[in-house]
Structure 1
Amino acid sequence: MKNCLACGHAQDDGRFCGKCGAPIENAAQERAATTHSMSDEQPHSQYTQTAQNTTQSNEQIELIKKQSKLYVNYFVEQLKMPSANFNVEATWKNSIISMIIYVVLTAISVFTLIKQFFSGGFGFFESIAPSFIQVFFYMSLFISLLIVISIFAIFLTAKLFSESLSFTNVISKIGNYYTLPIAIMVLSILLGLLKSFSYSTTMIYIGFALAIGIIPMFVMIKLLSNKSKNIDSFYGFIFYLVVTVILSSIVFSFMIDSAVGEVFKFFK
């Protein structure tokens, strides 16, 4: 039994359809050829898609390697001369990377110290020790908020008392100096792994003081000294300190309330 592909008429034999006259054998041959072609093209298309995915993955890996190499070169140069790119706005992406690396390293270093502290009581306090996720989240949030406060305070003070700067420019100016805090936090982690906890804690304090206090203050002073509006730069610096202290106090109170809430939640 043959079916005509043109009109659907069924007949036992014959090369042409008895109803519409369409060639039945050619239609069947075309259908078989089409099916065979599709079966041949499917493995080829799958191979092509796999090859494209592999190529894209290789390109992404090469891009990551290239960006990592560029950042390492930037890191080394900034560690040698932190003020070299003070007036260059194009480094703000590297500055953000430096800030993120500092935040992550600080959270890891603090968790290392907390873990050793709670494990020092013969395992008695290990059950109440905070997890890595908790420490990492709260420390990352706390430090990130303080960095954002520094950026905002410099942006606002520069706009009112010095020169109008974009947020990316302020990020670039602050982040260029974060190579030293990063190096200090790496040293803190190494000291913590070597169980030299007093020196590790000291390194955390030094890195924190540099990243949150000294570096933003240095950038603010440098901006006010380079260019100042009619209002004296001294009042600009006082304004910067007031804004920083008020916003930082709000963040401190928020974090302390959250920490105390977690403690009470545990003992309930």
Structure 2
Amino acid sequence: MQCEKCGFEQEAGKFCGKCGEPLDASHTEQTNETNTVEQSTASIEEVSSTVEQTPNTGQNDTLEKVKETATAYGTYFLHYLKQPSLVFSKGKTEFKNGIINNVLLVILLSLTIYFIGKDMFYYFSYSESVFLPVFGKSLIFLVALLAIIMGLIFITIKFFGKEHHFKEIVGIYGVHMIPVNIVIVVTLILSLLSAYGSSVFLLSLTMTLITVIMPLHIVSKQLTKDTAKVDPLYGYLLYLVFFGVVVFIFSTILIDTGFGEIIRVFGLF
């Protein structure tokens, strides 16, 4: 309670303890309530101002990371497009970009398979809503196939050449998929234009590059560069033997699990 005359404050009483003036309890309570409301309003305005002035740092950080990754990948793509052989000296450092390049490859290739096959294969005429099943099966097939190929390259080099880390093989293989990604983009465009003859030819070329030509080049290059336990020629042949056996087993399993249509698109059997 506050005295209106002298301003003295006290907790209770009917008269001011300093000057003796009668105290108006209702006026004092109203004054206190007004002060409390004013203080609350000031606090709310201060918090609102702080919220408005504080940027959404989480969202900005995410966008910045995406931009940085995209910029780094663009630099990586152009750099190794000009000189892909440079990756043999620093393959392990390109593991992240190698993963990105391989992911782009399987996505683009899965889309290409769908657009080539939707008007050419009986499987696609079962239902109108076949995009997700076909795209998903193709994606799983290609991820498994690329994992097998990189594993075979790693095993061949490990046993018949100098031992390398698997991340290095992923980085090297990813760089060698840069020109393949360009080919598959052209193939996808042709498939969208219904140029099925050209797109099927380029799809076959792409699969040959992915499974045979690029892996053999990597194996040969590594066995030639390192002190190899076996001549690079036999490294070629050993990779082909390993690849043939593993892919045959892999394809047989896939056929038994309903992937036969996808394998027919690749023309493996």
Question: Is TM-score (shorter-chain normalized) higher than 0.5?
Answer: yes
Q: Is the 8 A contact 2:219 2:232 kept in 1?
A: no
- Counterparts of 1:30 and 1:160 in 2: how far apart (Å)? 83
Corresponding residue of 2:20:
none
Q: Deviation at 1:130?
A: 6.2
SS at match of 1:98: helix
Q: Deviation at 1:134?
A: 1.1
Q: Deviation at 1:109?
A: 0.7
Larger displacement relative to structure 2 (27-36 or 96-105): 27-36
Q: Is the 8 A contact 2:112 2:191 kept in 1?
A: yes
Alignment partner of 1:114 out of 117, 135, 140: 117
Cα gap change, 1:165 to 1:66, in 2 (>3 Å): same
Tell which structure's C-alpha radius of gyration is larger.
2
Cα gap change, 1:261 to 1:202, in 2 (>3 Å): closer
* 2:82 is equivalent to residue 71 of structure 1: no
Specify the code of the residue in structure 2 equivalent to 1:78. Y
Deviations 1:216-239 (A, max 9, x none): 121111111222344555555554
- Counterparts of 1:235 and 1:103 in 2: how far apart (Å)? 30
Corresponding residue of 1:16:
11
- Counterparts of 1:260 and 1:95 in 2: how far apart (Å)? 27
Specify the code of the residue in structure 2 equivalent to 1:128. S
Corresponding residue of 2:97:
94
Corresponding residue of 2:223:
224
* 2:52 is equivalent to residue 47 of structure 1: yes
Specify the code of the residue in structure 2 equivalent to 1:81. Q
Counterparts of 1:193-232 in structure 2, within 5 Å, are 193-230=192-229
Cα gap change, 1:200 to 1:41, in 2 (>3 Å): same
Corresponding residue of 2:4:
none
- Counterparts of 2:132 and 2:177 in 1: how far apart (Å)? 24
Specify the code of the residue in structure 2 equivalent to 1:91. E
Q: Is the 8 A contact 1:181 1:208 kept in 2?
A: no
Q: Normalization by structure 2: what TM-score?
A: 0.75
* 2:86 is equivalent to residue 81 of structure 1: no
SS at match of 2:86: coil
Cα gap change, 1:52 to 1:204, in 2 (>3 Å): same
- Counterparts of 1:255 and 1:15 in 2: how far apart (Å)? 88
Gaps of 5+ in 1: 3-13, 19-23, 120-124, 263-268
Q: Is the 8 A contact 2:84 2:175 kept in 1?
A: yes
- Counterparts of 2:217 and 2:64 in 1: how far apart (Å)? 37
Larger displacement relative to structure 2 (202-211 or 36-45): 36-45
Q: Is the 8 A contact 2:220 2:236 kept in 1?
A: yes
- Counterparts of 1:32 and 1:15 in 2: how far apart (Å)? 21
Q: Deviation at 1:104?
A: 0.8
Cα gap change, 1:27 to 1:115, in 2 (>3 Å): same
Larger displacement relative to structure 2 (163-172 or 228-237): 228-237
Q: Normalization by structure 1: what TM-score?
A: 0.76
Corresponding residue of 1:9:
none
Counterparts of 1:165-184 in structure 2, within 5 Å, are 165-184=164-183
* 2:114 is equivalent to residue 103 of structure 1: no
Report how many aligned residue pairs link the two structures.
238
Specify the code of the residue in structure 1 equivalent to 2:118. K
Specify the code of the residue in structure 1 equivalent to 2:245. I
SS at match of 2:184: helix
Q: Deviation at 1:195?
A: 1.5
Counterparts of 1:244-255 in structure 2, within 5 Å, are 244-255=243-254
